[in-house]
Amino acid sequence: MRTLTAAAVSILEAAEPAEKMARSHAAAALWRQGTIHEIGAAGAPPRPVRPERPLLRHARDMPKRSARGSRENRIALLHALAHIELNAVDLAWDLIARFASTNLPLAFFDDWVTVAEEEATHHRLLAERLQELGARYGDLAAHDGLWAVAAATSGDLLARLAVVPLVLEARGLDVTPSMIERLDAAGDVTSAAILRVIYRDEIKHVAAGARWFAWEAARRGIAPVATYQALVRQHFRAALKPPFNAAARAAAGFPAAFYAPLAASNS
Ligand SMILES: [Fe+2]
Ligand SMILES: [Fe+2]
């Protein structure tokens, strides 16, 4: 693999999750060592290749996850999160390959290679935990909503950053603490510990999103807050769900002035 975009494409085209994760770690290591040092111009495929399982369903056809901590419910939660993390791996590599031609600094690629590698670790931790609980990633159905949102923003780096790290990953910061509490309450401290690792890393991912959103808005000479709100209204279409984890979002350099005006009313 001679260029970073070629490595990204080979990861997007790997169907099997274990292979996708292995290629992600290998590419990240080669990038850090400088063995891969060219960005190249391999373009992202329209969508990543997916394994035969999980079966993908429309989000509205997915069963509601229960808050109770039975083994079955915990498996459903961990399976849904493993699916999100698999998508997150592809989203990071897609960002690299899709927008490489827009003259971005090396620091951009450093950041998103690190994000991709951390997402691969998250997926692996969850997949291994599912196995410890007697299940496997792929056993349950999953939804394709994440990729649909990504596809809607494939024409514009700012729109992609607004919607993926700064809506979807930021939403992860809002909901993860209560998941950790529920797992702890169910006595599943092992799964809770995995979610703590994910939570800590996702603050960095939102921070990378906020940093590069600001950078690109400055390059275009446009106001970041108003632009963010316009892009989210255009591409995400749903109101943002409060309550927000304002502390974690602020720790990621993502102040409430961006997202609070887009909140659904709390009634
Ligand atoms: Fe993640
Ligand atoms: Fe992430």
* Tokens (6 digits) for 69: 């901590």
pLDDT of residue 212: 98
If pLDDT is split at 50, 70 and 90, which confidence band does 147 have? confident
Q: How many percent of the chain have pLDDT more than 70?
A: 97
- Quote the pLDDT of residue 69: 76
Q: Identify the burial level of 201 via C-beta atoms within 10 angstroms of its C-beta, where 0-12 means exposed, 13-18 middle and 19 or more buried.
A: middle
Distance 199 CA to ligand 2 centre (A): 9
Mean of pLDDT values over 85-90: 96
Beta-ladder partners of 37: none
Q: Which ligand ends up closest to the CA of 206? A: 2
CA of 119 to the centre of ligand 1 (A): 4
Query: Per residue in 21-45, pLDDT tens?
Result: 999 999 999 999 999 999 999 989 9
User: pTM of the prediction?
Assistant: 0.95
| Cα-to-centroid distance, 169 and ligand 2 (Å) | 6
Local structure of 259: helix, strand or coil: helix
DSSP 166-189: IIIIHHHHHHHHHHHHHHHHTT-H
| Interval between CA 185 and ligand 2 midpoint (Å) | 25
Instruction: Note the ligand closest to the C-alpha atom of 168.
Output: 2
pLDDT in tens, 218-240: 999 999 999 999 999 999 988 99
CA distance 53 to 265: 37
Residue pLDDT, tens place only, 102-131? 999 999 999 999 999 999 999 999 999 999
pLDDT at 267: 44
Rounded Cα distance, 266 and 244, in Å: 11
Q: Distance, CA 244 to ligand 2 centroid (Å)?
A: 17
In this prediction, residue 149 has a pLDDT band, given cuts at 50, 70 and 90, of confident
Lowest mean pLDDT among 57-66, 179-188, 203-212, 249-258: 57-66
pLDDT value of residue 67: 55
Q: Which ligand is nearest to the CA of 86?
A: 1
Q: How far is the CA of 35 from the centre of ligand 1 (A)?
A: 26
| Predicted pLDDT of residue 57 | 84
Please answer whether residues 232 and 262 qualify as being in contact, where contact means their C-beta atoms are separated by less than 8 angstroms. yes
Region 251-261 average pLDDT = 98
User: Among all ligands shown, which has an atom nearest to the Cα of 198?
Assistant: 1
Give residues whose Cβ lies within 5 Å of ion ligand 2. 88, 169, 202, 205
CA of 202 to the centre of ligand 1 (A): 6
Distance 43 CA to ligand 2 centre (A): 22
Residue 148: pLDDT band by 50, 70, 90 thresholds?
confident
Given a contact cutoff of 8 angstroms between Cβ atoms, the answer to whether 36 and 96 are in contact is no
Give the Å distance between the CA of 221 and the centre of ligand 1.
Answer: 31
Q: Find the Cα–Cα–Cα–Cα dihedral 175, 176, 178, 180, rounded to 10°.
A: 170
Ligand 1 center–CA 89 separation, angstroms: 8
